[in-house]
Amino acid sequence: MNVYYKLMLNAVQSSTVYRFHTFVTTFQRLIGIFVQISLWTALYKGAQSFQMEITQASLQEMWMYVVYSSLIGLMVANGNIYSLSDKIQTGHIVTALIRPIGLFRSLLFETLGSKVFMILFEIIPVLIVSHFVLGLPLPNIEAIPVFMIMLIMAFTTFFLMTFIVGMSSFWYIRTFHLEFMLTHVMNFFSGLMIPLWFFPRELRAVMDWLPFDLVYYAPLSVLLGKAKYAEIGVMLAKGCVWIALLAAAAVMIWHLGKRKLVIQGG
């Protein structure tokens, strides 16, 4: 267990070095939030001028959606794709075969380590700004436990997805192609920018079968109190199924990758 702790500490320490970088990314994040909020405000005002009632959510709820979506982005982010493609292409992945720590676990603890720093220096400032400057209410306390479960599910799902994409480096050099596509698919299908309740029925039907909305929409809808019990149950079940599927795929692809390494020598 000591080794894992050291890995996490390592990640925290190297995060503190990039203090400036953090300041800048937080600034960029706040700008992004500002643009999104302006966008929704204009949209709602426009609807108002047409005497249209937007029943799915209020403007203030959308503001909260924007802010929390950004924060969830921080929580689920990981360096898997970059880390894996780098290790595979430089050949360092071989050490993962030798070292006692599993590759998966070392990636996990590296990511978790940086989260600690992130919570202190990126999430809390954004929460403070949005609450005191924008006057956004803090989330409902009752929603928090289920939200935490959803968040863990979101993190795991995304972690597995990026792990699989990162593994593709064994066969396809231009990993950033796949990363690009994942990012853009996520941008749309996960509810990152636009909550699923605005999507037309047919599209939603498709997305219900896909795992992407587990990463953003599921935790967000719980946090904002928009999900009824039945929905929560369905999302949890879907999460378990998809995590199992993705985990199986991840294991399989790692085996294939290992075999390629051993046979071809990396």
Partner 1 sequence: MPHPFRLYGRFLRTYMKTQLEYRFSFFGDIFVNMMTFVTLYLSFWVLFNTFPTMNGWNYWEVVFLYNLNLLTYATSSLFFWGPMKQLEHLVRSGEFDQFLVRPLDPLKLLVFRQFQHTFIGHIIVAGTVMVLCTIQLEIHWTTGNIAFLLLCVLGGTLIQAGIIITAASSAFWVVRSGTVVDISIYAIRNFINYPISIYGRSIQLLLTFVIPYAFVNYYPAAAFFGKDHAGSSELSHLYSYSSLAVGAALFAAAVWIFRRGVMRYDSAGS
Q: Would you count residue 105 as binding partner 1 (CB under 8 A)?
A: no
Of 92-100, 152-160, 163-171, 194-202, the segment contacting partner 1 by CB under 8 A is: 194-202
In the complex with partner 1, the residue whose CB is nearer, 2 or 55, is: 55
Q: Would you count residue 205 as binding partner 1 (CB under 8 A)?
A: no
Q: Would you count residue 210 as binding partner 1 (CB under 8 A)?
A: no
Residue in 40, 35, 39, 38 with CA at minimum distance from that of residue 57: 40
In the complex with partner 1, the residue whose CB is nearer, 203 or 251, is: 203
Q: Which two tokens stand for residue 97?
A: 């075969």
Binds partner 1 (CB under 8 A): choice among 92, 177, 255, 259: 177
Of 21-29, 73-81, 206-214, 221-229, the segment contacting partner 1 by CB under 8 A is: 21-29
Contact 86, 167 (CB under 8 A): no
d(C-alpha 4, C-alpha 156), whole Å:
18
Binds partner 1 (CB under 8 A): choice among 174, 228, 255, 259: 174
CA distances from 116 to 84, 150, 189 (A): 22, 19, 28
Considering only residues 50 through 69, tell me which ones interact with partner 1, judged by CB under 8 A.
Answer: 50, 52, 54, 56
Of 19-27, 98-106, 129-137, 223-231, the segment contacting partner 1 by CB under 8 A is: 19-27
Q: To the nearest whole angstrom, how small is the minimum distance from the Cβ of residue 1 to partner 1?
A: 38
Contact 158, 212 (CB under 8 A): no
Q: Would you count residue 135 as binding partner 1 (CB under 8 A)?
A: no
Binds partner 1 (CB under 8 A): choice among 1, 2, 20, 209: 20
Q: Would you count residue 102 as binding partner 1 (CB under 8 A)?
A: no
Q: Which two tokens stand for residue 136?
A: 């956004």
Q: Which two tokens stand for residue 88?
A: 């595979």
Q: Would you count residue 132 as binding partner 1 (CB under 8 A)?
A: no
In the complex with partner 1, the residue whose CB is nearer, 22 or 156, is: 22
Q: To the nearest whole angstrom, how small is the minimum distance from the Cβ of residue 141 to partner 1?
A: 30
Q: To the nearest whole angstrom, how small is the minimum distance from the Cβ of residue 154 to partner 1?
A: 19
Residues forming the site for partner 1 (CB under 8 A): 20-21, 24, 27-28, 31-32, 35, 38-39, 41-47, 49-50, 52, 54, 56, 173-174, 177, 180-181, 184-185, 187-189, 193-194, 198-200, 203
